[in-house]
Amino acid sequence: METMAADLATMIRTPLHDSHVAELHRLGEVIDVRGGDYIQDLGKPFTHFHYLLEGELEAVDPRTGDRYGAATLGPTQFFGDISFLSGAKATIGARAVTDSRCIRVERATMLEAMSRIPEMSDIIITVFAARRRRQLEAGDAPLTLIGAEVDRTIRQIASFAGRNRIPVRSLTIDEHEAERVAHECSIGDPKPAVILGKHEVLDNPTPKSIAQRLGLDQAINTDHVFDTLIVGGGPAGVAAAVYAGAEGLNALVTEDLAIGGQAGTSSRIENYMGFPTGISGADLCWRGELQAMKFGTRFAVPRRAEGVHQADDGVFHVRFDDESMACAKSLVVATGVQYRRLPLDRLEDLEGAGVYYAATDVEARWCRGADAVVIGGGNSAGQAAMFLSRTARHVHVLVRGPSLAASMSDYLLSRLEADPSITIHYNTSVTTLHGDDALEAVTMYDKTSGQDWRLSTSAVFIMVGAAPNTAWLSGLVALDPQGFVKTGVTNGGRSPYETSHHGIFAVGDVRSTSTKRVASAVGEGSVVISAVWGHVND
């Protein structure tokens, strides 16, 4: 742990080269800041990049208004974190400790310079990412959650925050700190709540409202026409975002929950080239998102596409679940697939309260020291079982068929079978969910023995089937009988990934006949942009 902290400190203090500083002088202006004045207000979007020439700056804790941490920034250092790239609101403020002098560069100008000077960009992004990582690990954040252990809404917000790498502080209702915070916020005895900053208690909080308050769900100007709109932020969509930005296309990525998509719920991918010790789906897509933002690609989360039409001028208009609209000269459909809902009574009532479709750190805490159930026979189910086995008392994997040989990678199946804390139940399915406000137990049916049996559990993870997210396409493109998008010359396209409707492309798991693997999705997202570029510039 000490080594990690030292590494982070080194990254956070990595200086820019003299040539980079000279470029900042050329692009920006030198300003004087009096001691005690802010250069970045708490909770406000980043409008400028600040490089310190003289004096001292301190980060400001949004909950207390005091200095964040023990360290300050001195000459040759710069202020900011990932929010600078994304356009979101700053999670930490910045204030001059003494009279100081800075180079100030407008955000748009700085982003252009970063895309033009990769060596400078690498240093800045490394520092920004390290700062955000430190916030996440320390639980230092402008957002405080109370009562996720008892309230489904707070649990959903915790999951949304975790998957979007939003720093949060999570408190249980019965701990002293929750009592202190509750009284400071004038909410009386501790109860489920979401608190922004020091005192602001949010009414009827939702992931959408949290995203809006933090600037993640950026407003889209319908008068602006993007070169390409990438709908879906999984590996295929993020790869397309990187290459679109690198090729100079003005691109927007929208995702209905979190960048990473279904792959973002994979706790460990071990067969992706270049990562011999494995990497989580969330980390892989996070790295891609940073690359894409460096090239100027924008992201808007959470936004779920609900319909699309093409105007007479050829521009596509995509309508989202909040009735907002985005316009683009081309579309890249990368909406992937979603796990199918099982036909179980009260399933919807217990979703988020014991029934989950992802197995990340957030969900894993709800089955710590207890039995967990994973339903499914694919790699995602296997990865979830291995991940949950670290904290759960025992993991039961339920497989509807007699074998996993055809649906799961051999290395993963071998590990499941060798792990004493995991049991695979073949020919077994869940028939009943038990519990009022939260899941308490499940009844399962063993087809081989013909018997029912009941298991006490507070967590069931459903990872069954693959239903494509294509209803929003409004009949514009040809689909196969299962609802996947047809592409290629034989299906009316002019290139391998173009659909029957010119200007609409499809990549990744949503595409008919695609190989349902992260590596192939990344490849398709990368390759499709050459055809998109050709369409936009035709």
What CA–CA distances, in Å, run from 84 to 16, 24, 155, 317, 398?
Answer: 17, 16, 28, 28, 44
pLDDT of residue 13: 59
* CA-based nearest residue to 76, from 58, 55, 53: 53
Over the stretch 336-346, which tens digit does the pLDDT of each residue have?
998 889 999 99
Closest listed residue to residue 352, CA positions, set 516, 105, 156: 156
> C-alpha angle with apex 433: 429 to 437, nearest 5 degrees?
155
**Placement of tokens 């018997």 in the chain:** 451
Q: What does DSSP say about strands 371-375 and 460-462: parallel, antiparallel, or unpaired?
A: parallel
% the chain with pLDDT above 90: 72
State the burial class of residue 87 (Cβ atoms within 10 Å of its Cβ: 0-12, 13-18, 19+).
Answer: middle
CB 217 within 8 A of CB 211: yes
Tell me: the pLDDT tens digits for 414-432? 999 999 999 999 999 999 9
3-class DSSP state of 462 = strand
* Strands 460-462 vs 355-356: parallel, antiparallel or unpaired: parallel
Q: Lowest-confidence range among 92-106, 122-136, 304-318? A: 122-136
Residue 1 has pLDDT above 70, yes or no: no
Using pLDDT thresholds of 50, 70 and 90, give the confidence band for residue 11. very low
Task: Enumerate residues 6+ apart whose C-beta is below 8 A from 273.
Answer: 519
Can you tell me the distance from the alpha carbon of 294 to that of 245, in angstroms, rounded to the nearest whole number?
8
Quick: pLDDT tens for 492-530: 999 999 999 999 999 999 999 998 889 999 999 999 999
With a CB cutoff of 8 Å and minimum separation 6, the contacts of 79 are 39, 40, 50, 52, 57, 59, 73, 94
Mean pLDDT comparison of 88-97, 293-302, 377-386, 489-498, highest-scoring range: 489-498
Q: CB within 8 A of 258, min separation 6: which ones?
A: 160, 163, 164, 233, 264, 282, 301, 302
Domains belonging to the chain, first-starting first, are: 2-129 (2.60.120.10), 143-214 (3.40.30), 225-338+466-536 (3.50.50.60), 347-462 (3.50.50.60)
Say how many C-beta atoms besides its own lie within 10 A of residue 425's C-beta. Answer: 16
Pick the more confident residue, 243 or 213.
Answer: 243
**Mean pLDDT for the chain?**
92
Inform me whether the pLDDT recorded for 159 exceeds 70. Answer: yes
Measure CA 297 to chain center. 15
Residue 489 one-letter amino acid: V
- The residue ranges of DSSP E strands in 473-515, in sequence order, are 504-506
The token duo for 494 is 């002019």
Q: What 3-state DSSP class applies to 285? A: helix
pTM as predicted: 0.90
Q: How confident is the model at residue 8 (pLDDT cuts 50, 70, 90)?
A: very low
> Pairing mode, if any, of strands 394-398 and 371-375?
parallel
Helix (H) / strand (E) containing 235: helix 235-246
- DSSP character at residue 89: B
Contacts of 337 by beta carbon, 8 Å cutoff, 6+ apart:
262, 466, 467, 468, 469, 509, 510, 516
H, E, C per residue of 16-43 = CCHHHHHHHHHHCEEEEECCCCEEECCC
Q: Is the pLDDT of residue 139 over 80?
A: no
User: Cα(31)–Cα(42) distance, rounded to whole angstroms?
Assistant: 20
pLDDT for 384 beyond 80: yes
Q: Token pair 């250092």 is at which residue? A: 77
pLDDT at 51 over 50: yes
| DSSP reduced 3-state for 523 | helix
At 255 the pLDDT is 95
Beta strands in 295-368 (DSSP E): 298-300, 305-310, 316-320, 325-328, 331-333, 337-338, 355-356
Residue 7 pLDDT > 80, yes or no?
Answer: no
State whether residue 485 is helix, strand or coil. Answer: strand
pLDDT reported for residue 233: 96
Distance from C-alpha of 130 to C-alpha of 128, rounded to nearest angstrom: 5
In percent, how much of the chain has pLDDT > 70? 97
Position 2 pLDDT exceeds 50:
no
What CA–CA distance (Å, rounded) separates 316 from 325?
10
Distance between first and last Cα of the chain? 54
Cβ(508)–Cβ(523) below 8 Å: no
In angstroms, rounded to a whole number, what is the distance separating the alpha carbons of residues 463 and 476? 29
Strand 168-171's sheet: what is its strand order?
Answer: 168-171, 143-146, 193-196, 200-201
For residue 247, pLDDT beyond 70: yes
pLDDT tens digits, 170-196: 999 999 999 999 998 888 889 999 998
Per DSSP, the three-state class of 476 is coil
Examine the pLDDT at 63 and tell me if it is beyond 60: yes
